[in-house]
Amino acid sequence: MDTVEWLFRSRTTGRITVVQWPNAPLLAGIGVQAARWVFDPGGVWRTALEVAGTAAFAAWAADEVVRGVNPWRRLRGGAVLLGLVVSWLRR
């Protein structure tokens, strides 16, 4: 099996899988980000949206690391988790 097949082939279906329909945590994270950009709230609302968005993206990324259908999905989840941690540490 070559590297591309190993990286992208779904271990459950056998098909090449790069992206899938978003699951609930990813949709929630995207929705929260959209709300932040559209409404640009300040104060406690901004903080609440930041926390909710970060939690949603962290839940999605952790799920990808644990249950991703192929190494690509798991690596992508790990990269998002790492980015969230680095972002948090830089504050």
Q: Is the pTM of this model over 0.85?
A: yes
The DSSP 8-state label assigned to residue 70 in this structure reads: S
- Span 11-46, pLDDT tens digits: 999 999 998 889 999 999 999 999 999 999 999 999
What pLDDT, on the 0 to 100 scale, is given for residue 46?
Answer: 95
| Phi, psi for residue 88 in degrees, rounded to 5 | -65, -40
| Phi, psi for residue 16 in degrees, rounded to 5 | -70, 125
Residues 74 and 83: beta-carbon distance below 8 Å: no
